[in-house]
Amino acid sequence: MATKNNSSNPALQTVVPEVVIQRLPLYVRVLSQFSNSGHDVISSEQLGQQLQMTPAQIRKDLSYFGRFGKQGRGYDIAMLERQLRTILGLDRTWNVAVIGMGRLGRAVVSYPGFAPEGFKIVSAFDSDDKIIGMDVSGLVVQSTASLAATVKKLDIKIGIVTVPIAHAQSVIDSLVKAGIKSILNYAPLSPQVPSGVMVRGVDPVLSLQSMTYYIR
């Protein structure tokens, strides 16, 4: 899958491979780490060493979005990080809803790492009457029946699905119907969604299964 860059000139738009989009947050993370360590400039070689990538691949990835560095001088860290954050839409705050308040959902809502990166969890949902009304990290759990109304009221743009696999597709369908186009799915399921809706899966079992290839 690929997407187009956000150039204001349609004639200059280029198709950006999905794998490149997925690598951009990794670049931002490394740039932030180098900046916090007092560095002002970074080379493609240094980026490559951190991410186990070739300098040529890094230069190719960044070339989809413009010219950032100067040959022999490297990249201005602050400038590059700022521009990549803008490209990714990380220069603003995104309101997020979490659906499914079991152990995983409660852990996600309680995780402190989202807010500093611009992702504000503003609502939590469940279908279990025993859970609805509970306070989870300062959020009152709402019924999934109120999902669409809350999404509109709070301008929620991202949904995080932490329900069991048997309910994941129906919950994702409800998010799509409510107008959500970006979904992070923790259920071990490849959901069916319409064109224009992006679903990212988080499945630690798949990660473990790929890791055992190297230690078998």
Identify the pLDDT of residue 9. 43
Per-residue pLDDT for the chain (216 aa), expressed as one digit of tens each?
Answer: 556 565 444 434 578 999 999 999 999 999 999 999 999 999 999 999 999 999 999 999 999 998 886 666 889 999 999 999 999 999 999 999 999 999 999 999 999 999 999 999 999 999 999 999 999 999 999 999 999 999 999 999 999 999 999 999 999 999 999 999 999 999 999 999 999 999 999 998 988 999 999 998
Task: Give ranges for CATH 1.10.10.10 in the chain.
Answer: 2-88
Q: What angle do CA 120, 123, 126 make, to 5 degrees?
A: 140
Tokens of 48: 């490559």
Identify the pLDDT of residue 216. 82
Q: What is the pTM of this model?
A: 0.88
Identify the pLDDT of residue 73. 80
CATH of domain 2-88: 1.10.10.10
Q: What angle do CA 185, 188, 152 make, to 5 degrees?
A: 20
**Ramachandran quadrant class, 113 (left: phi over 0; alpha: psi -120 to 50; beta: rest):** alpha
Identify the pLDDT of residue 68. 84
CA terminus-to-terminus distance, the chain: 31
Q: Name the fold adopted by 94-206.
A: Rossmann fold (3.40.50)
Helix (DSSP H) and strand (DSSP E) numbers for the chain? 8, 12
Identify the pLDDT of residue 215. 92
Task: Give ranges for CATH 3.40.50.720 in the chain.
Answer: 94-206
